[in-house]
Chains A and B, each alone.
Chain A
């Protein structure tokens, strides 16, 4: 069965018809030609397909495109504006937060979404609950909150450094518990 949907992707409105079984990842890559989210496993296990939907990070391979009709999406290709990189992109570049680069667009979207979650007060499995949440996160928090994004090259050290740089650069938000 086909359905017509509209997605707002990286600042552009796109209306098109999809088979209702189409994942958001396939819709982005195959239908809209946005190949910045990558297909690493197609099972929600590697995080290479991570995009931001209404600012929240999701594995786009596990989402159906029709379930997000009308949604606003941001991919790594849309994070930068015309003139400059997003601070998270700049940080990955400065800290050499990648090797082969295949997981990188997903890592960056995930990191942006992760800091927003922390700023919104969402705890993680390692949050102690007896202090304020929000950014800046310590390394243990970053590692735990990013653990759904695999990097087979093992660039984790530099990715943590990049996220640290980005959260230092951005306005810090503290949620009082």
Chain B
């Protein structure tokens, strides 16, 4: 047995830096503005060409001709890129359904060509001189239009268990409903950016703000018609990703690479904000209809739903998004009889894509909506009905996976109820509502259970490359990308823990495809689990080689060697040597000091045909309590208090994890309450245009909407098994804690009406939407009073 690489994944060595409070890895560079993003790089190069897209502003049209003759002769113009310039395959889509230079416009503002010029202004002026003539085609903008027209794309999925129809027929209580859950714009503050150069050997080097460097490399190579070993992609860091740079970085990297190859000059592609908003995919909206049967105690005994995701004009990641939605309609609840159909609408909009949560939030909202309404109908408290439906230990999900740690949900639920004073505040809220006619408060508690692993099993693998130099310093490369989630610091902590070294010994290299190949996107919250496993593996492979060297120096057995805090010692001896001495001795003895590491998540499988399998390595959990106050005249509301309790296992980096939980909640609450994507759905000349093209019309969460009181805690419990140093993923799961705000708003709106009235709440629940929701249930006398006031 190897002395080091046989250590269990979750075993934390003594004196390690796993779990120590650390800032982000580039913290000093961020606060001084020295941290470089992709768009900061072009300033360091001469003769850079700048790119401007030729956008066509029509929802759907066939291009008849594209005349760039005039543009080509304009000042500063180096090249106009069109389909004829593509040496490889003119496509960047998942299914060959996204031409880089299309001959058919499939959404309002799609780019059909690009201009490269010495300055951005010259490129822009030339792009306006390009004449595109087209024939307009019928367009479909909304999901409902697509459903009516039967216009779907990609696979249709069915999640099934038991006999939902039979259970529905005999259920004592039946409910049905429907909801449109609107999408969300990523609005990463750094827009899409790629910078490409070509070296003397023809090697293409793309610096890209991408969550998936390997995928970006594959797409660029495909467009250029060259093998992957001729393209290197590097991502220094991203100014936010949130899923919006999982596939959506690829076309811009391909344009930059193509331009660099054709001109021999560096090419900078950076979308301005308007281009980014009008050209890139978003969280797609979901349309759902559902029927449910409940028994007298409020248990869901039958659950039927048809879920339609708005995929936009192409498939992109929508099948996986729908898969994750279907695998999360259960949230924390046991559903014995289930029949859920998932399908993808094709609309003439940007191609919708990954966004933190990846379909799971929409799946959960359908069920939380159902429970919120069932509570009212059955006269059972909202907290009570949810708790009664929780998974019991040993029960399985509709896709056939045993719910591990099922009892943890109840424990967390009780703990947060206690620390948030839920029961007494429920009475206070009722008293407030009794005393105030035109202002009502709502209090809600909601759970989150989120499966961690890519739904597609093949993606659950990662690599790393660890290099130790003769002076004892360590350079770590891994396949994950940094977008603010603190992955790089966590990987440094993993390397330092695995090697038994202080953090100052460790340096992290930028993510590059020529260091670690064939990597999965940094997404699905798996960045730490996968890359951490690979980094640990690489470190321990080297330690296995160093152990005999140390054993020789110390006169002990290799298996007794221990390294802690830069000091190499062994069981049964007081003698030690320094890390530097060990490394130099190993070098002199001709022992290799570098290694690649690899990790694959064990025990997961999933059959998309039957929708059965062990889809997830483990479940991440959280509980949220939210209290809101709603004004009956305007629907305007404030979030008075939020309490969150979230399970991150044994946190690798508590400060970073807390920030992730807070930030995810803020982003989720933005999606559910403020961020209102609007497209022109009229038959007018701007049909299909994104109307919310700026932060002036698309309301992003700011400081102002923070909960007045905001308590966030990590759930403390014994170390988990089976994941890197006992930690759990944190990127996406806490986003869904924000559903508590939505349910609190429903409760507050309901308080304007007579007890037992169901409130249908659209999403996002903007102040306007809340106003109309509460106005539906408002007592007639109060409506008169509002009019009189």
- Contact of A57 with B by CB under 8 A: no
Q: Which residues of B contact A143 (CB under 8 A)?
A: 703-704, 706
Whether A6 sits at the interface, judged by CB under 8 Å, is no
Given that A33-B43, A152-B667 are contacting pairs, would A102 and B37 also be in contact in the complex, using a CB cutoff of 8 Å?
yes
User: Which of chain A's residues has its CB closest to B26's CB?
Assistant: A101
CB-nearest residue of chain A relative to B696? A45
Beta-carbon contact of A99 and B485 below 8 Å: yes
Say how far B548's CB is from chain A's closest CB, in angstroms.
41
Give B658-672 as 1s and 0s: 1 = Cβ < 8 Å from A's Cβ atoms: 011011111100100
Residues of A within 8 Å of B710, CB to CB, are: 157
Residues of A within 8 A of B670 (CB): 154
Cβ-defined contact, A76 with B32, below 8 A: yes
**Which residues on A sit within 8 Å (CB–CB) of B666?**
154, 156
Do B30 and A101 have beta carbons less than 8 Å apart? yes
Residues of B within 8 A of A48 (CB): 189
Asked whether A152 lies within 8 Å of B187 as measured between CB atoms, the reply is: yes
A134 at the interface (CB under 8 A from B): no
Is B40 part of the binding interface, using a Cβ–Cβ cutoff of 8 Å?
yes
Shortest distance in angstroms between B55's beta carbon and chain A's nearest beta carbon?
Answer: 17
Whole-angstrom CA separation of A33 from B46 in the bound complex: 13
Answer yes or no: A160 CB below 8 A from chain B CBs.
yes
What secondary structure prevails in chain A residues at the interface with B? Answer: loop
Q: Does B33 contact A (CB under 8 A)?
A: yes
Q: CB within 8 Å of A: which of B691-733?
A: 694-696, 700-704, 706, 710, 712
Q: Could you tell me if A142 and B703 are in contact, using CB atoms closer than 8 angstroms? A: yes
Q: Which residues of B contact A35 (CB under 8 A)?
A: 33, 36, 40, 43
B111 at the interface (CB under 8 A from A): no
Q: Which residues of A contact B664 (CB under 8 A)?
A: 154
List the one stretch of B75-83, B84-92, B237-245, B447-455 in contact with chain A: B237-245
Per-residue contact bits, chain A 138-162, to B (CB 8 Å; 1 contact, 0 not): 0000111011111111111111100
What is the size, in residues, of chain B's interface with A at 8 Å between Cβ atoms? 57
Residues of B within 8 A of A24 (CB): none
Query: Which of A38, A104, A154 contacts B31, CB < 8 Å?
Result: A104
Given contacts A42-B272, A152-B189, contact A99 B33 (CB under 8 A): no
> By the criterion CB–CB under 8 Å, are A160 and B703 in contact?
yes
Residues of B within 8 A of A42 (CB): 272-273
Determine which of A43, A101, A148 lies in contact with B696 in the assembled complex, contact meaning CB atoms within 8 Å: A43
**Which one of B40, B239, B704, B706 lies within 8 Å of A100 (CB-CB)?**
B239
Given A38-B189, A150-B695, A153-B484, check contact A98 B30 (CB 8 Å).
Answer: yes
- Across the interface, do A144 and B704 meet the contact criterion of CB distance under 8 Å? yes
Give the chain A neighbours of B189 by CB distance below 8 A: 38, 40, 46, 48, 100, 102-103, 150-152
A100 contact set on B, CB distance < 8 A: 188-190, 237-241, 483-484
With a CB–CB cut-off of 8 A, which chain A residues contact B39? Answer: 39
Q: Is there contact, CB below 8 Å, between B667 and A108?
A: no
Are B662 and A96 interface neighbours, CB within 8 A? Answer: no
The B18-38 residues at the A interface (CB cut-off 8 A) are 23-24, 26-37
Q: Are A158 and B703 in contact (CB under 8 A)?
A: no
Interface flags, A66-93, vs B, CB<8A=1, else 0: 0000000001110110000100011011
Q: Is A8 an interface residue (CB 8 A)?
A: no
Q: Which of A45, A46, A99, A154 contacts B486 (CB 8 A)?
A: A99
Number of interface residues of A (CB under 8 A): 54
Looking across the interface, which residue of chain A has its beta carbon closest to that of B29? A101
Q: Is B759 an interface residue when CB atoms closer than 8 A count as contact? A: no
Interface pair A101/B24, CB less than 8 Å apart:
yes
If A96-B655, A100-B238, A147-B702 touch, whether A45 touches B694 (CB-CB below 8 Å) is yes
The one of B238, B239, B484, B701 in contact with A38, judged by C-beta atoms closer than 8 angstroms, is B239
Q: Are B240 and A147 in contact (CB under 8 A)?
A: no
Whether B695 contacts A43 by the Cβ 8 Å rule is yes
Closest to A96 in B: B655
CA distance A39 to B270 in the complex (A): 11
A56 contacts the other chain (CB 8 A): no
Give residues 162-195 of B contacting A (CB, 8 Å): 186-190
Q: How far is the CB of B163 from chain A (nearest CB, A)?
A: 43
Determine if B239 and A155 form an interchain contact, defined as CB atoms under 8 angstroms apart: no
**Is B706 a contact partner of A157 (Cβ separation < 8 A)?**
yes
> Is the CB–CB distance between A40 and B703 below 8 Å?
no
Please tell me if B656 contacts chain A, counting CB pairs below 8 Å. Answer: yes
Report A13 CB to chain B, min CB distance, Å: 20
Judging by beta carbons under 8 Å apart, are A152 and B703 in contact? Answer: no
- Which residues of the partner chain B approach A151 to less than 8 Å between Cβ atoms? 189
Alpha-carbon gap, A99 to B240, bound state (A): 8
Task: Tell me which residues across on chain B come within 8 A of A29, comparing CB atoms.
Answer: 40, 43
Flag if A36 contacts B37 (CB, 8 Å).
no
Q: With A and B bound together, what is the CA distance between A171 and B411 in angstroms?
A: 46
Q: Which residues of chain A have C-beta atoms less than 8 A from B27's C-beta? A: 93, 96, 98
> A113 interface residue, CB < 8 Å from B?
no
Closest to A125 in B: B704
* A41 touching B40 in the complex, CB below 8 Å, given contacts A105-B33, A143-B706: no
CB pair A76–B703 under 8 Å, yes or no, is no
A30 at the interface (CB under 8 A from B): yes
Bound-complex Cα distance A75 to B188 (A): 22
Inter-chain contact A96/B706, CB cutoff 8 Å: no
B233 CB to nearest A CB, Å = 19
Are B701 and A154 in touch, CB under 8 angstroms? yes
Chain A 19-53 interface residues, beta-carbon cutoff 8 Å to B: 29-30, 33, 35-43, 45-46, 48
Which chain B residue lies CB-closest to A102? B239
Asked if residues A36 and B34 are in contact (CB atoms below 8 Å), the reply is: yes
| CB<8 Å pairs between A and B, sample of 15 | A36-B33, A39-B39, A40-B239, A42-B273, A48-B189, A79-B32, A104-B30, A104-B33, A142-B703, A147-B704, A151-B189, A153-B663, A154-B664, A154-B666, A154-B667
Beyond A101-B239, A150-B695, list 5 extra A-B contacts (CB 8 Å): A98-B30, A100-B238, A100-B241, A102-B37, A153-B240
Mark B residues whose CB is within 8 Å of A. 23-24, 26-37, 39-40, 43-44, 186-190, 237-242, 272-273, 483-486, 655-656, 659-660, 662-667, 670, 694-696, 700-704, 706, 710, 712
List 7 A-B pairs, minimum CB-CB distance, nearest first: A36-B33, A100-B484, A102-B239, A154-B666, A99-B484, A101-B30, A154-B663
Q: What residues of chain A have their CB less than 8 Å away from a CB belonging to chain B?
A: 29-30, 33, 35-43, 45-46, 48, 75-77, 79-80, 85, 89-90, 92-94, 96, 98-105, 108, 142-144, 146-160
